[in-house]
Structure 1
Amino acid sequence: MPSEVMERMFTLAQLAPSWCNTQPWHVIVTSGDATTRFREGLVAHIRAIGPSRPVDFDTPRDYTGVYRERRRESGRQLYDALGIAYGDREARAAQVFRNWESFGAPHIAIVTTAAEQGTYGAVDTGVYTGCLLLAAQSLGIAAVPQGAFAYAAGFIREHFEIPADQKVLLGIGFGYAAAEHPVNAYRTNRASLDESIRFVEE
Structure 2
Amino acid sequence: MDLDEALKARKSVRAFKADPVPLSLVNEILELARHSPSGTNIQPWKVHVVAGDVRRQLEAEVLAHRDTKPADAVAEFPRTSKRKEPYTTRMRTLGKAMYGLIGIPKGDEAANWRQWGRNYQFFDAPVGLIFTIDKDLDAMSFLDIGIFMQSIMLAAKSRGLDTCSQGAWNNFWTVTRRVLSVPDDEYIICGMSLGYADETSPVNTLVAEREPVASFATFHGFE
Q: Which residue of 2 aligns with 1:48?
A: 68
SS at match of 2:49: strand
Cα deviation, residue 70, structure 1: 0.3
Summarize deviations over 1:98-130 as a string: whole Å, max 9, x none: 122221121111101122322121111111111
Unaligned runs of 5+ residues in structure 1 are: none
Cα deviation, residue 10, structure 1: 1.0
SS at match of 1:101: helix
Establish whether residue 130 from structure 1 lines up as the match of residue 150 from structure 2: yes
Higher relative contact order structure (alpha carbons within 8 Å, sequence separation ≥ 6): 2
Q: Which residue of 1 aligns with 2:210?
A: 190
Q: Distance in 1 between the 2:50 and 2:171 partners?
A: 19
Which one-letter code corresponds to 2:126 in the other structure? P
Q: Distance in 2 between the 1:195 and 1:178 partners?
A: 33
Unaligned runs of 5+ residues in structure 2 are: 1-20
Q: Which residue of 2 aligns with 1:144?
A: 164
Q: Distance in 2 between the 1:61 and 1:184 partners?
A: 29
Cα deviation, residue 8, structure 1: 1.1
8 Å contact from structure 2 (residues 128, 192) kept in 1: yes
Q: Distance in 2 between the 1:149 and 1:166 partners?
A: 14
Q: Which residue of 2 aligns with 1:35?
A: 55
Which one-letter code corresponds to 1:29 in the other structure? V
Q: Which residue of 1 aligns with 2:135?
A: 115
8 Å contact from structure 1 (residues 28, 109) kept in 2: yes
Cα deviation, residue 52, structure 1: 2.5
Q: Distance in 1 between the 2:91 and 2:125 partners?
A: 24
TM-score (structure 2 length as normaliser): 0.84
Which one-letter code corresponds to 1:18 in the other structure? S
Residue in structure 2 matching 1:157, options 177, 181, 201: 177
Q: Distance in 2 between the 1:60 and 1:104 partners?
A: 31
Summarize deviations over 1:13-38 as a string: whole Å, max 9, x none: 11110011111111100111111011
Bigger mean CA offset, 155-164 vs 50-59? 50-59
Bigger mean CA offset, 80-89 vs 91-100? 80-89
Give me the CA root mean square deviation: 1.8
Gap change, CA 1:147 and 1:51, over 3 Å in 2: farther
User: Percent of aligned pairs with the same residue?
Assistant: 28
8 Å contact from structure 1 (residues 51, 151) kept in 2: no
Q: Which residue of 2 aligns with 1:178?
A: 198
